[in-house]
Chain A
Amino acid sequence: MKHASQKCLQIIGCGSVFKSIQVDIGRYCLDYGQINFVEFDDVSSIALNTASVLSDLSPEAADLFLAVDQNALNYARLELYGPAKLKGFKCTSMVHDSAALGVGTYIGENVWIGPNVRIFNRCNIAADTFIAACSTIGDDTHVGAHSWIGKNCLISDSVSIGTNCVICDLININAKIKIGRNTILAQPGLILNNVQSGTFHEFIYEKPGHMIGRNYSFSKRGVSK
């Protein structure tokens, strides 16, 4: 296998994360021979063009980073990530050099840790999850795959966040809270109670939207992962 420095890195995506990486690429401490950017027009063009973009590349020659903002439970990013993994690509993670990671904290692949993020000890940030600038995550917290944490969030200790979640900017989550999968928290403020899977907290509804059906409200456990 080639050493990373002999491989090239393809950064594929669109949106604010893609752009912020592009202008700041020098601060991600990457060890690649070459770095290329492939930008999509918008999220709707991803599904249509993923196959052709990937077919020009080989997993032996290139690693990938798939940089797409949150959009419909991060579905757009998953549309790139899923096919890339099926084709055997390795995805790198991008940690900004101003971010700090604690002891025993594990970061999956295709994770983006933005500028000035603080992640304390023994956390687990699963694959394909993005954490935007100036957010802080306490000890022993788990964030599921394909999730998004916005800017200036404060996630306390021992919090568990499910897969495919979107936690928007300026949200504080109290210690030991469980956030189920497929959840959107879009109202800045403090989360003091567990949030069931499939809950959409947004301004537009008088009460949060809820997914109902198998594995949601009908699941045995109150909060399913």
Chain B
Amino acid sequence: MKSLMPPEAYIDESWFLREQKLLFGNIWQFIAPYSLLSKTNAFVRRRVSGIDIIVQNASGQIIAYENVCRHRLSPIQNEDQGVRAMVCPYHGWSYDENGFAKVIPFENECYRFSAEERMSLKLNTFHIYRFGSLIFINLSDNPINFYDQFDSNGVRELKDASDLFDSEILVTKFRLKCNWKLIYENLRDPLHPRFVHSSTIYRHVKFKAEVDETAAAEAKLFDASKSHSRDDFLADLRSFSGGGKNEPMPDLPSYQWHQYVERYGQDDWYLNWLMFPNLHIASGSAGYSFIIEHHIPISAAQTEMWVYYVTGKKKRKYPTSAAVLLAHIKGAETVLREDFDIMEKVQSAITANSPPQMTGDYEYQNMLIEKWYLSLMEGRHGF
């Protein structure tokens, strides 16, 4: 079936900006695992939709602020993550948990603000939602309900799994030269592993590409332009997130560290969850450890990928836990590279004159999502 996605959706910067506003400006998006924020003054800094954001543990509350000092616009936190009070390094202004300037050194001698000015010295804040041990942010002043976006049953397993995440976590960042949508279209494509990952993960997990007849028929019939209510629009959105047991892992190796950590579930299955639009969580060890992949769109052709590796909660400390996480990244890196490589090539091949993609029935999920996405981008529906 001819895809409706225009090439601009992948390469055009003005399209990208519109997408940032219409989609990313309205939805709940992942920002960090809670364990990075569990200590007082722990913070995470990420740039989302062009906004420099810090999520900070301010006296026990997790709050998201714009990371721009109200004095001379200096960033307040300068590391990607860490533990540091909210004090601007430039002239030492500190901020309270509500984002108000708390202490301004030499306030009376040097600044002499009027009472009204003083009251206005507040950082922008954003809405936060804690889902299990995953923190989400919404950039809208008036966000939709979290469970209008995610089906509580569909994502419950992921919430439970995230509650098992250990506090020792390995964080890395990659940069991909491709549009973020290519990554998710690829993640929803169960046929590619046998070609792209034939010598790596496909040897252990036989991903099957099957046509779900009902879903494929629905995706084909789905016409977002016709009498489609906001409730339907949100119901469709909710159907894009979920996951769970993906494929069996008959020869799951057993490692000593497995006995030291709590496991999510009991079955030797590859676990895989997607939270639309840009969070992917998987467990290639059938519930003993997890990879959290968070893709932040930077521009039409660039995506930042934050990767977190974590095991289940430790039942007891063991001396090699860092090596276990390190071994994960080594294993995952090869597979990630295989995907990066193909997606960067696809990206570089797309031009304004590219012919339309021809999606097959097995790609019914992508088909449905692109129709929904275009109804948003073309202004037929909104949040």
Interface residues of A (CB under 8 A from B): 47, 72-75, 78, 164, 182, 184, 198, 200, 204-214, 216-218
Contact = CB atoms under 8 A, between A and B. Distances in A.
B169 A209 contact: no
A213 B256 contact: no
Nearest to A166: B326
A200 B320 contact: no
B322 A182 contact: yes
B323 interface: yes
Interface stretch (B79-87, B106-114, B221-229): B79-87
A53 B319 CA distance: 23
12 contacts: A72-B330, A73-B323, A78-B319, A184-B326, A205-B172, A209-B171, A209-B329, A210-B172, A211-B169, A211-B171, A211-B322, A212-B35
Interface string B145-179: 00000000000000000000011111111110000
B173 A211 contact: no
B175 A211 contact: no
Contacts of A204: 172, 174, 333, 337
Interface string B317-353: 0011011011101100100010000000000000000
A47 B168 contact: no
B320 A212 contact: no
Interface in B164-206: 166-175
A204 to B, nearest CB: 6
Given A204-B333, A212-B170, A218-B42, 8 more contacts: A47-B256, A75-B327, A78-B319, A204-B172, A209-B329, A210-B171, A214-B167, A218-B83
B210 to A, nearest CB: 34
Contacts of A214: 167-168
A192 B35 CA distance: 30
Range for the number of chain B residues in contact with chain A: 20 to 34
A216 B326 CA distance: 15
A217 B322 CA distance: 14
Nearest to A184: B326
Contacts of B174: 204-206
B177 to A, nearest CB: 12
Contacts of B172: 200, 204-205, 207-210
A72 B325 CA distance: 9
| Chain A to chain B: the 3 pairs with minimum beta-carbon distance, closest first | A213-B168, A75-B323, A209-B172
Contacts of A211: 168-171, 322, 325
B31 interface: no
A4 to B, nearest CB: 30
A218 B39 contact: yes
A214 B166 CA distance: 11
Of the candidates A208, A211, A214, the one having the most CB atoms from chain B within 10 angstroms of its own CB is A211
A212 B323 contact: no
Contacts of A182: 322-323
B334 to A, nearest CB: 10
A68 B171 CA distance: 28
A164 B323 CA distance: 9
A207 B174 CA distance: 8
B305 to A, nearest CB: 9
A74 B82 CA distance: 27
B36 interface: yes
A50 to B, nearest CB: 11
Interface in B296-319: 304, 319
Contact of A212 (B81, B327, B329): B81
Nearest to B305: A206
A212 B322 contact: no
A47 B171 CA distance: 27
A72 B309 CA distance: 15
Interface string B96-121: 00000000000000000000000000
Contacts of B319: 78
B83 A206 contact: no
A37 to B, nearest CB: 26
Contacts of A206: 173-175, 304
Nearest to A215: B168
Of the candidates B39, B172, B333, the one having the most CB atoms from chain A within 10 angstroms of its own CB is B172
B321 to A, nearest CB: 9
A212 B175 CA distance: 21
A121 to B, nearest CB: 32
Contact of B81 (A73, A198, A200, A217): A217
A197 to B, nearest CB: 9
A207 B333 contact: no
Contacts of A207: 80, 172-173
A23 to B, nearest CB: 29
B168 A164 contact: no
B333 to A, nearest CB: 6
Contacts of B304: 206
Interface in B346-369: none
Contacts of B320: 73, 75, 78
